[in-house]
Amino acid sequence: MNDYNFWSDLLDTFQSSPDWIKALWLLIPPGFLLGLVALMLRFRIAAKQMEQSAGGELIYSIHRDAGQLRVVSHIPLAEGNPGLLVFDPPAGGEDGSPETNRLAPPA
């Protein structure tokens, strides 16, 4: 077992394989590298486009904690409307009764 050489065995296997398998061995690694470069370039282009298009402003955020959903407005509201909307959990349950979502006044 001391005289075993991996590279010799690999090259012998390559030499004794059919021609179409030899062609695959020679074409797949460069094809993989070209595909990898293409994916990286697409990712970089898409990332730059996202940076340019992300210049808008945040209007609403939705936070979930302890089973409640809170919608927070980031724009000034008129006529004393609250900036925070709290949604009650469904009044029904697992018994199959109709469930409606209602707005609750902020706590």
Q: Which residue has the higher pLDDT, 105 or 23?
A: 23
Please say if the pLDDT value at position 67 is more than 90. Answer: no
Closest CA to 105 of 83, 89, 86, 90: 86
| DSSP strands (E only) in the chain | 60-65, 68-73, 84-87, 103-104
DSSP state at residue 4: -
pTM over 0.85: no
